[in-house]
């Protein structure tokens, strides 16, 4: 059942999967995700098939649309929850039966030798279990708050995820008694916590390097990487693409240079659908191709717009880098084709 809801949630573009806030009734839980980089579903091939061609060709096919893909990968997380307001997928309720949650609570009461009252008082919620039982018998309510489960879980020697959905170990191993502070529950488990920042899958576009024409094959079959970042604040539904920088053609860009080893995060320019006009100062990923597209150069440049031409400038302390100058037709006089691939929005670097 959970697997079916998971699949429907992943392929529904209008439902945002996130942890519910404290004291919000929960209606569904996705099972604990595997370690970072492992597929949530056994369909890794779908992602690899997408990445096996030029990433910019793949972006504009339905198979690679991150809002349609059922093979989305996510970093390790404890749970993903659907708030009650969004708790209907395809016309079917995703509410977990409160009866099943109470059965798991009773099972842990028996295992720990605690009474309902003793466990509730120890959790700091004297009427918690009794109120859940009353809700089931009288109101038919099908939700339970995260605050209640987070409080009861360590008292019952389990995790709130297991209490809610039966997912994960019933009795997780205790944390090592080294005296260090742990952010997990007292039982060594993980709490259902509020998600404060959503993340989206970012496609990997390979490297960019000024002054280096390469066979187009080097930009095809780029090994996929699992990259997850917050959506763009202004254009959250436009596909982001990450590029690794080689060379020093932008080491004098102001106010922040782009250096060798940086990772540039950019928005697919075609995906903007004309919402952003080309303007002076714009930092872009630009592609030059020649010999019928067999040789390709991809680089980061800063745009200068004039009445009759565009100029894509390096910003470097090295004089050998030259600007790309093309008329507004975006086709150079010497047979080169010039194309803006992406609009650079941020730079990442590991220390």
- What is the domain-level CATH number for residue 220? 2.10.109.10
Nearest to 219 by CA among 208, 234, 206: 206
Is the same domain home to 13 and 158? yes
Alpha carbon distance 194, 24 (integer Å): 10
For residue 303, the enclosing domain spans 200-348
Q: 68 lies in a domain? A: no
Q: Tell me: the pLDDT tens digits for 233-243?
A: 999 999 999 99
Question: Which CATH number goes with the domain that contains 11?
Answer: 1.10.260.40
Is the same domain home to 225 and 154? no
Q: Pick the last residue of a domain from 116, 149, 165.
A: 165
Q: Tell me: the pLDDT tens digits for 279-313?
A: 999 999 999 998 878 899 999 999 999 988 999 99
User: Is 88 in a helix, a strand, or coil?
Assistant: strand
Q: 228 lies in a domain? A: yes
Is the same domain home to 304 and 221? yes
Q: 122 lies in a domain? A: yes
Alpha carbon distance 100, 2 (integer Å): 14
User: Is 28 in a helix, a strand, or coil?
Assistant: strand
Is the same domain home to 28 and 149? yes
pLDDT at 69: 35
Q: 158 lies in a domain? A: yes
Q: 69 lies in a domain? A: no
| pTM of structure | 0.49
Is the same domain home to 152 and 9? yes
Alpha carbon distance 309, 150 (integer Å): 61
Handedness of CA 24, 26, 27, 30 (dihedral sign): positive
Nearest to 241 by CA among 351, 313, 341: 341
Judging by DSSP bridges, how do beta strands 324-327 and 337-348 pair with one another?
Answer: unpaired
- The number of domains in the chain is 2
Is the same domain home to 160 and 216? no
Find out whether 301 and 340 touch, Cβ atoms under 8 Å: no
Greatest CA span in the chain, whole angstroms? 84
Is the same domain home to 28 and 141? yes
Tokens 């970042």: give the residue. Answer: 229
Is the same domain home to 93 and 230? no
Which pLDDT band holds residue 43 (cuts at 50, 70, 90)? very low
Is the same domain home to 14 and 134? yes
Q: 52 lies in a domain? A: no
Q: 47 lies in a domain? A: no
Element (H, E) at 4: helix 2-11
DSSP 192-241: -----S--EEEEEEEEE-TT--EEGGGGSSPPP--EEEPPPSS-TTSPEE
Is the same domain home to 137 and 260? no
Which pLDDT band holds residue 176 (cuts at 50, 70, 90)? very low
Q: 48 lies in a domain? A: no
Is the same domain home to 160 and 95? yes
Is the same domain home to 205 and 143? no
Segment 175-193 shows an average pLDDT of 46
Which pLDDT band holds residue 168 (cuts at 50, 70, 90)? confident
């Amino acid at each position: 059942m959970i697997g079916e809801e998971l699949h429907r949630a992943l392929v529904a573009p209008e439902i945002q999967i996130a942890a519910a806030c404290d004291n919000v009734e929960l209606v569904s839980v996705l099972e604990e995700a595997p370690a970072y980089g492992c597929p949530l579903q056994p369909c890794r091939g779908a992602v690899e098939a997408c990445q096996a061609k030029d990433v910019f060709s793949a972006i504009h096919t339905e198979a690679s649309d991150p809002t349609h893909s059922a093979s989305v990968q996510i970093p390790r997380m404890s749970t993903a929850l659907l708030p009650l307001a969004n708790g209907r997928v395809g016309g079917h309720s995703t509410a977990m039966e409160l009866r099943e949650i109470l059965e798991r609570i009773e099972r842990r009461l028996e295992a720990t030798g605690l009474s309902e009252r003793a466990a509730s008082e120890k959790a700091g919620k004297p009427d918690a279990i009794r109120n859940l039982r009353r809700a089931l018998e009288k109101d038919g309510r099908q939700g339970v708050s995260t605050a209640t489960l987070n409080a009861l879980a360590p008292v019952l020697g389990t995790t709130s995820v297991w209490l809610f959905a039966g997912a994960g170990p019933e009795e997780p191993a205790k944390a090592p008694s080294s005296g260090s502070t742990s952010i997990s529950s007292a039982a060594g488990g993980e709490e259902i916590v509020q998600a404060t920042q959503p993340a989206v899958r970012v496609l990997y576009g390979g490297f960019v390097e000024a002054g280096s024409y390469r066979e187009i094959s080097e930009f095809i079959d780029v090994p996929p990487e699992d990259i997850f970042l917050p959506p763009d604040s202004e254009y959250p539904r436009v596909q982001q693409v990450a590029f690794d920088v080689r060379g020093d053609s932008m080491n004098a860009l102001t106010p922040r240079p782009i250096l060798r080893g940086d990772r540039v995060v950019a928005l697919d320019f075609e995906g903007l659908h004309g919402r952003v006009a080309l303007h002076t100062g714009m930092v872009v990923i630009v592609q030059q191709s020649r010999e019928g597209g067999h040789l390709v150069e991809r680089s980061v440049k800063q745009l200068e717009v004039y009445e009759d031409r565009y100029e894509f400038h390096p910003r470097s302390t090295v004089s050998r880098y030259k600007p790309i100058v093309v008329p507004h037709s975006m086709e150079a006089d010497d047979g080169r084709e010039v194309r803006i691939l992406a609009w650079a929005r941020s730079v990442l670097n590991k220390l």
